[in-house]
């Protein structure tokens, strides 16, 4: 699941799960018969591959994600699903990597070594790059302005290059360490202050560059991927990132020695006097960088099962799960650096594969669905719902013919609220079923009452949900198009979330299979009933 929160309003009501009070459907024997393909053993076969160390955490735009895409494509092909994208199972996404090229920093005419003495990140370089030269800089200590302490007092930074420490704060008690998040926030504050003060650039003294490992160097140099939509291109053209450069302690000392001091001496002086040591330093500094654009392989994987009814087959039910995760994190403590993403979202992807097998088996036996079904595993969810957004901008099947999206994102574990409870192995968070269609909400309850009898928890339909779960997975890009959705989710937000501990060994496979069966039975009803679910709600859970 995507970590970012979107800040759109949500005005809806909570719906209590009440399958005991809902009139069940007449159980369909064929649906039950073919659901047997959705079982723990088959789930393990897929997930043990997709979430293995060999797939390196399946980060978008990397080898691991390509391996996962190939695995899913080959499985869809083995089932006999149609390749719906002009004869391909891949819907290619226009993804590019923006990295820094030709970066340069000189101090008094002496060149420094990139990714050793200094670092220029790709997000600090505009589309056209930057270059500057100066004969003097402003050293502003820690760049702190609070609690009666002001490193900028009496300084004019307009048009100047400013040198500050990245970490540390003289107003904080000695011995208190800043967390990683606090460091990021402090850096953002310092950068924002100097940008608003119209400084030319900021140079951060960053001790983490003093002993860069090869792994860290690789992480620094890989750049950043961006889905290349016209909106993104236009936005980048309008942006002019404030230039930031990070330097090592040794490089900082090369600058400070011109003023007869050093990093250690300045820090000691500030600590002893509790006063700023800011000054203008006469030193010749030049810097430049260009941005390089490189295409990156990236694709959604689609398999299509055509419906059996001559009229209804033009309508499509879309079943989704995202196969990407966050890859390898070298900075994590401990020997395990791979974020396997077994639950997030290897479990949901596995659910899509299991449902594909069940529906294909039904069709081979002459019991195929009347409407068509698109099985789609999407990429880039962790980057900002990229894959589903791309599909929403470039739909393979007409939006007006897409009757519903059922999205499985994290269905393999027990969330914190259910740990140790009697129903810990018989629940699922059902998100958004009533946002656009009261028909779909009612159908979901009827299906559950008939087949799976799970507890449907609607907690995340609460408009006051602080986690904003409704906006954080791929179903949302369908909902924005006015397509009814249900998002199935286990609620695991703390234990192992986006960490190497999200391993196959921690998956509850019987529970994964049961949740996938609930999704399958709901899809079966959607694909076979006479009428599609009416869109009678406003997208926020209010009747139109």
Residues 49, 166, single domain; the answer is no
pTM of the predicted protein model: 0.85
Residues 381, 409, single domain; the answer is yes
CATH number, position 356: 3.40.630.10
pLDDT tens per residue across span 305-351 = 999 999 999 999 999 999 999 999 987 888 999 999 999 999 999 99
Residues 307, 252, single domain; the answer is no
Quote the pLDDT of residue 141.
97
What is the spatial distance between Cα 291 and Cα 98, in angstroms, rounded to a whole number? 6
Does residue 22 belong to any structural domain of this protein? no
Please count the other Cβ atoms lying within 10 Å of the Cβ belonging to residue 269. 14
Strands 201-205 and 161-165, by their bridges, are parallel
Does residue 12 belong to any structural domain of this protein? no
pLDDT tens per residue across span 397-454 = 999 999 999 999 999 999 999 999 998 999 999 999 999 999 999 999 999 999 999 9
Residues 437, 478, single domain; the answer is yes
- SS3 (DSSP) at 509: helix
What is the spatial distance between Cα 194 and Cα 159, in angstroms, rounded to a whole number? 10
Quote the pLDDT of residue 10.
39
Do residues 116 and 292 touch, judged by C-beta distance below 8 A?
no
Q: Per-residue pLDDT for 355 more than 90? A: yes
| Domain that includes residue 524, residue range | 29-93+298-528
Burial class, 396, CB count within 10 angstroms (exposed 0-12 / middle 13-18 / buried 19+): middle
Residues 512, 481, single domain; the answer is yes
Do residues 429 and 519 touch, judged by C-beta distance below 8 A?
no
Q: Which of 324, 317, 259 is nearest to 296 (CA)?
A: 324
CATH number, position 258: 3.50.30.30
Counting the structural domains of the chain, the total is 2
Q: Per-residue pLDDT for 107 more than 80? A: yes
pLDDT tens per residue across span 506-539 = 999 999 999 999 999 999 999 999 999 999 999 8
What is the spatial distance between Cα 328 and Cα 326, in angstroms, rounded to a whole number? 7
Q: Per-residue pLDDT for 34 more than 60? A: yes
Residues 105, 193, single domain; the answer is yes
pLDDT band at 303 (very low <50, low <70, confident <90, very high): very high
Does residue 69 belong to any structural domain of this protein? yes
Does residue 542 belong to any structural domain of this protein? no
- Per cent of the chain over pLDDT 90 is 80
pLDDT tens per residue across span 180-228 = 778 888 899 999 999 999 999 999 999 999 998 887 888 788 888 888 8
Please count the other Cβ atoms lying within 10 Å of the Cβ belonging to residue 393. 13
Quote the pLDDT of residue 20.
47
Does residue 72 belong to any structural domain of this protein? yes
Residues 269, 161, single domain; the answer is yes
Beta bridge partners of 489: 429
Residues 304, 286, single domain; the answer is no
Q: Which of 106, 102, 100 is nearest to 287 (CA)?
A: 106
What is the spatial distance between Cα 463 and Cα 475, in angstroms, rounded to a whole number? 17
Residues 131, 272, single domain; the answer is yes
What is the spatial distance between Cα 190 and Cα 145, in angstroms, rounded to a whole number? 9
Question: What average pLDDT does the chain have?
Answer: 93
Residues 132, 60, single domain; the answer is no
- SS3 (DSSP) at 129: coil
- SS3 (DSSP) at 229: coil
């Amino acid at each position: 699941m995507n970590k970012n929160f979107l800040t759109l309003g949500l005005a809806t009501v909570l719906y209590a799960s009440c399958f005991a009070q809902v009139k069940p459907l007449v159980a369909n024997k064929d649906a039950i018969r073919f659901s047997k393909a959705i079982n723990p053993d088959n789930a393990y076969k897929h997930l043990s591959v997709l979430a293995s160390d060999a797939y390196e955490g399946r980060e978008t735009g990397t080898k691991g994600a390509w391996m996962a895409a190939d695995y899913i494509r080959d499985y869809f092909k083995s089932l006999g699903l149609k390749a719906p994208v002009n004869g391909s199972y891949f819907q290619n996404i226009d993804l590019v990597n923006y990295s820094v090229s030709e970066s340069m920093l000189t101090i008094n005419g002496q060149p420094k070594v990139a990714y050793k003495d200094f670092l220029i990140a790709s997000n600090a370089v505009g589309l056209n790059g930057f270059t500057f030269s100066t004969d003097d800089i402003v050293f502003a200590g820690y760049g702190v302005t609070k609690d009666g302490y002001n490193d900028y007092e009496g300084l004019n930074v307009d048009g100047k290059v400013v040198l500050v420490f990245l970490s540390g704060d003289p107003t904080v008690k000695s011995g208190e360490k800043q967390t990683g998040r606090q460091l990021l926030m402090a850096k953002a504050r310092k950068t924002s202050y100097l940008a608003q003060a119209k400084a030319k650039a900021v140079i951060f003294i960053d001790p983490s560059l003093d002993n860069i490992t090869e792994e860290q160097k690789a992480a620094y140099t890989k750049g950043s991927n961006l889905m290349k939509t016209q909106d993104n291109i236009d936005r980048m053209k309008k942006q002019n990132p404030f230039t930031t450069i990070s330097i090592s302690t040794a490089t900082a000392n090369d600058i400070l020695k011109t003023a007869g001091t050093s990093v250690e001496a300045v820090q000691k002086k500030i600590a002893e006097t509790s006063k700023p040591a800011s000054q203008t330093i006469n030193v010749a500094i030049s810097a430049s960088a260009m941005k390089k654009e490189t295409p990156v392989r990236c694709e959604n994987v689609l398999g299509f099962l055509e419906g059996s009814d001559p009229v209804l087959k033009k309508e499509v039910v879309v079943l989704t799960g995202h196969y990407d995760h966050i890859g390898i994190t070298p900075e994590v403590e401990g020997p395990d650096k791979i974020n396997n993403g077994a639950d997030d979202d290897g479990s949901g992807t596995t659910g899509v594969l299991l449902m594909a097998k069940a529906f294909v088996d039904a069709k081979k036996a002459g019991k195929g669905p009347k409407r068509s079904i698109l099985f789609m595993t999407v990429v880039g969810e962790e980057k900002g719902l990229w894959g589903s957004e791309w599909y929403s901008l470039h739909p393979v099947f007409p939006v007006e013919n897409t009757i519903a999206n059922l999205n499985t994102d994290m269905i393999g574990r027990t969330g914190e609220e259910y740990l140790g409870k009697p129903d810990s192995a018989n629940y699922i968070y059902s998100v958004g079923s009533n946002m656009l269609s009261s028909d779909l909400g009612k159908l979901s309850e009827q299906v559950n009452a008939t087949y799976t009898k799970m507890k449907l928890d609607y907690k995340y339909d609460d408009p006051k949900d602080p986690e904003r779960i409704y906006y954080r997975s791929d179903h949302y890009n369908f909902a924005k198009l006015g397509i009814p959705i249900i998002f199935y989710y286990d609620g695991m937000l703390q234990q192992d979330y986006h960490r190497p501990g999200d391993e196959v060994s921690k998956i509850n496979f019987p529970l994964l299979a049961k949740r996938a069966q609930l999704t399958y039975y709901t899809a079966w009803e959607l694909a076979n009933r006479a009428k599609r679910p009416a869109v009678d709600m406003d997208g926020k859970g209010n009747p139109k």
